[in-house]
Chain A
Amino acid sequence: MTALTPITPEVLARAKWAFSTRRVRRKDAVRLSENLAEATSGDLVLGRVERIGSHKKIQLAEGRASELYVGDLVVLACGDRYAPDQFEGLAELDPEGADMLAGGGVLGRMRHRHARMSAPTRVVPLGLLTHGSGKVINLASYALHEAERPQGMTVIGVVGASMNSGKTTAVARLAHGLSRAGYEVAAIKATGTGAFGDFNAFVDTGAAYVADFTDAGMVSTYRQPLARIEAGLDTLLAHAARHGCEVAVVELADGVFQKETADLLKQPHVRDSFAGVVFAAPDALAAAGGCAALRGMGIEPAAVTGMVSCSPLGAAEAETATGVSVVTRDELADPAQANALLGRLVEGRDATQPAVAISEVGVAA
């Protein structure tokens, strides 16, 4: 039988609760379980910072970053992470010390790291937070009520070539442009790792509703069952509709080759519900490859954006290679141009064919 240690509210009040835990009712945490071997994704962990590594700050539930010090008590969620530019890791907790995989509050075991990343910040797990019943507190218990995908909402997907290709900026600018054009807009991140950077960027746009997968009870969507991620997206869209939103701009994290993103895009229920998909790319070659990959999934990109749009020459190359219009972030934020993009999608007249077959520029489709 698992030993449960009572824990006082004073101790928990001293701890730094990460962004990923923001939906949890803190007073529910009354005991600590040392049975770390049974930890699963989304379980809440009370830990003590042992060594400051790559993450020198923690993103707090209150929405600000807090400097980390050795000895800090932190409440994080056990979880997986997939981040090619940072860490890849699993939802496993070593009692000797675990790895802070994301500043938004993901604790696990690092398997891979990008060459420029230093070692992760180490946290000693003191135990899993439990209810009075002894049941481990998991983010899923605090998720929005599950709901079916709403009818009549226009959903625009934003996917990209990789991390940092410009997806979040594209979502934010498009949400802002459409809001200025008079729409009630939802900005949603459907996959990824819990962090407040993107969430706050969406809030800043003035969108009527902002949510991410943590609102659907997942600290990270990496290695989660596809059905759960899909249901999470449906739930977020349903709640957006309840807030009066008529348009949703939805970001899928990482690149189109990332497993969960690719699997989602291949799902007819998801793919067909997108009125259109905008692709963010760092350069023309990535735009060509990404558009080819999307077409391979049966998706005709509605527009290309991202860092490639900052370069007129790059944008021209991308348009020639893909046959898809390249739009800048300023164009996405312009209400008339955002409206025109939406109009093209809604009216289904976005049937531009590639000016050059993708094989002609040497990219495998």
Chain B
Amino acid sequence: MLRNVSKGGGAQTEAAKRAADFTLVKRPAKGRGALACWLALPAEMDPKATPLVAVHGIQRRAKDQAASYAARAAALGRPVIAPIFDARSWPRYQQVVRSGRADHALLALMSDLRLTGIWNTRRFELAGFSGGAQFAHRFAMLYPQLVARLTLSSAGWYTFPDTAAFPYGLSARAGRRNDWGPRLAAGLDQFLRLPIQVCVGAEDNLQDANTRSGAEIDRQQGRDRLTRAQRWAEAITAAAAARGIAPQVTFKALPGCGHDFRDCVEYGGLDGVVVPGTGPVDAAVVRGSAAGSGFSGREVMLQAGL
């Protein structure tokens, strides 16, 4: 059963009209261990458009992810897919390969969505905020061939391209045969060739209760998200250069932002980083969608189909 909640409009330009014309859909999980997701589907879907997969943080606000990027993506005919790693089934989805295998779940979801025609390209763009950024960079290290561009926002900590034991680095943990670090390392060249955008709030420089800390990680990565993001971006850049790969890594501190996704979109312009190229849509439509007071498209609760 479909339920229309609201309709958008009011944009002035053609781009803004396209941006306004999207549908926000919640797709329930299909089967045990499957992921539900929020989808932002443009009215005019470009079959060649690369979808954006936007992964939530540990607050699990997948709808915010889809809604915040929806207008800009719709202006380009691109769908946004925001998987929901619920806390009960996926307590440690950020590490991707922990029990339950969050990577398998996302692959299965993307396979299902391909069957329903929501995307048709070889690769997708992958973005994540906080815990979602942790997931996103580890997933991209495992499957670099699937990722067209990677945008990491405000990750608490990272897997570095160094010899620290996994999950901090790419070496095997002591006593582990066939550990994950070397598996991530196997695709490192391909990963380092990806366009990678690293963002973090310029004021996200305080440890909080959710910041993983300790002597080892603080020494390797720094004490706060801002420092860690800078160090990781530098490490990725250096690793690429060391392998003779031209790095495509950018770092951006989002002005006036701490560790709040909506702030990062509304004040830091994170949406424009994740979905660039929409020009005049910015002011007309996007801000309202990110502010939590609503959004410009239609919202649909999907209980059947798709």
B109 to chain A, nearest CB (A): 13
Contact between A347 and B143, CB atoms less than 8 A apart: no
Listed residue (B111, B145, B178, B186) with the most chain A CB atoms within 10 angstroms of its CB: B186
Q: How far is the CA of A342 from the CA of B104 in the complex (A)?
A: 18
Contact of A183 with B187 at beta-carbon distance under 8 Å, contacts A331-B178, A335-B107, A340-B182 already known = no
A 111-135 binary contact with B (CB < 8 Å = 1; else 0): 0000000000000000000000000
User: Which A320-344 residues have a C-beta within 8 angstroms of B?
Assistant: 325, 327, 331, 335-337, 339-344
User: Which B166-192 residues have a C-beta within 8 angstroms of A?
Assistant: 177-178, 182-184, 186-190
Contact between B145 and A183, CB atoms less than 8 A apart: yes
Across-interface contacts of B190 in A (CB, < 8 A): 343, 346-347
Contact between A336 and B103, CB atoms less than 8 A apart: yes
Q: Judge if B165 is at the interface, Cβ distance under 8 Å.
A: no
Across-interface contacts of B188 in A (CB, < 8 A): 343, 347
Across-interface contacts of B103 in A (CB, < 8 A): 335-336
Q: How far is the CA of A347 from the CA of B243 in the complex (A)?
A: 11
Chain A's interface size range is 20 to 34
Contact of A182 with B146 at beta-carbon distance under 8 Å, contacts A336-B103, A344-B186, A347-B189 already known = yes
Contact of A343 with B107 at beta-carbon distance under 8 Å, contacts A182-B122, A182-B146, A336-B143 already known = no
Q: Judge if B285 is at the interface, Cβ distance under 8 Å.
A: no
Across-interface contacts of B107 in A (CB, < 8 A): 180-182, 335
Across-interface contacts of A346 in B (CB, < 8 A): 189-190
Q: Judge if A349 is at the interface, Cβ distance under 8 Å.
A: yes
Contact between B186 and A349, CB atoms less than 8 A apart: yes
Q: How far is the CA of A349 from the CA of B142 in the complex (A)?
A: 16
Contact of A325 with B143 at beta-carbon distance under 8 Å, contacts A182-B122, A335-B104, A337-B183 already known = no
Chain B's interface size range is 20 to 34
Contact between B186 and A181, CB atoms less than 8 A apart: no
Q: How far is the CA of A205 from the CA of B10 in the complex (A)?
A: 50
Q: Kindly report which residue of chain A lies nearest to residue B111, judged by CB atoms.
A: A180
Q: Kindly report which residue of chain B lies nearest to residue A180, judged by CB atoms.
A: B107
Q: How far is the CA of A347 from the CA of B97 in the complex (A)?
A: 22
Contact between A181 and B97, CB atoms less than 8 A apart: no
B1 to chain A, nearest CB (A): 33
Listed residue (A181, A325, A337, A339) with the most chain B CB atoms within 10 angstroms of its CB: A339
Q: Kindly report which residue of chain A lies nearest to residue B122, judged by CB atoms.
A: A182
Across-interface contacts of A336 in B (CB, < 8 A): 97, 103, 142-143, 183
A32 to chain B, nearest CB (A): 49
Q: Kindly report which residue of chain B lies nearest to residue A319, judged by CB atoms.
A: B177
Contact between B187 and A181, CB atoms less than 8 A apart: no
Contact between B145 and A182, CB atoms less than 8 A apart: yes
Q: How far is the CA of A341 from the CA of B183 in the complex (A)?
A: 8
Across-interface contacts of B122 in A (CB, < 8 A): 182
Contact of A327 with B143 at beta-carbon distance under 8 Å, contacts A343-B187, A347-B189, A349-B186 already known = no
Contact between B178 and A182, CB atoms less than 8 A apart: no
Q: How far is the CA of A182 from the CA of B184 in the complex (A)?
A: 16
Contact between A340 and B104, CB atoms less than 8 A apart: no
Contact between A340 and B145, CB atoms less than 8 A apart: no
Contact between A339 and B178, CB atoms less than 8 A apart: no
A305 to chain B, nearest CB (A): 12
Q: How far is the CA of A182 from the CA of B108 in the complex (A)?
A: 11
A170 to chain B, nearest CB (A): 16
Q: Kindly report which residue of chain A lies nearest to residue B96, judged by CB atoms.
A: A336
Q: How far is the CA of A337 from the CA of B183 in the complex (A)?
A: 7
Q: How far is the CA of A341 from the CA of B185 in the complex (A)?
A: 11
Q: Kindly report which residue of chain B lies nearest to residue A181, judged by CB atoms.
A: B143
Q: How far is the CA of A335 from the CA of B106 in the complex (A)?
A: 12
A230 to chain B, nearest CB (A): 29
Across-interface contacts of B183 in A (CB, < 8 A): 336-337, 339-340
Q: How far is the CA of A346 from the CA of B142 in the complex (A)?
A: 14
A43 to chain B, nearest CB (A): 44
User: Which B44-99 residues have a C-beta within 8 angstroms of A?
Assistant: 97
Across-interface contacts of A331 in B (CB, < 8 A): 178
User: Which B183-219 residues have a C-beta within 8 angstroms of A?
Assistant: 183-184, 186-190
Q: How far is the CA of A325 from the CA of B107 in the complex (A)?
A: 26
B176 to chain A, nearest CB (A): 13
B 245-289 binary contact with A (CB < 8 Å = 1; else 0): 000000000000000000000000000000000000000000000
Contact between B186 and A182, CB atoms less than 8 A apart: no
Q: How far is the CA of A339 from the CA of B122 in the complex (A)?
A: 16
Contact of A347 with B186 at beta-carbon distance under 8 Å, contacts A180-B107, A327-B178, A335-B104 already known = yes
Contact between A181 and B146, CB atoms less than 8 A apart: yes
Contact of A181 with B145 at beta-carbon distance under 8 Å, contacts A335-B103, A335-B104, A336-B103 already known = yes
Across-interface contacts of A342 in B (CB, < 8 A): 186
User: Which B118-147 residues have a C-beta within 8 angstroms of A?
Assistant: 122, 142-143, 145-146
Q: How far is the CA of A325 from the CA of B178 in the complex (A)?
A: 8
- 24 cross-chain CB contacts under 8 A: A180-B111, A181-B146, A182-B107, A182-B122, A319-B177, A325-B178, A327-B178, A335-B104, A335-B107, A336-B103, A336-B142, A339-B142, A339-B145, A339-B183, A339-B186, A339-B187, A340-B184, A343-B186, A343-B187, A343-B190, A346-B189, A347-B188, A347-B189, A349-B186
Other A-B pairs, 6, CB within 8 Å; known A343-B187, A347-B189: A182-B143, A331-B178, A335-B107, A340-B184, A346-B189, A347-B190
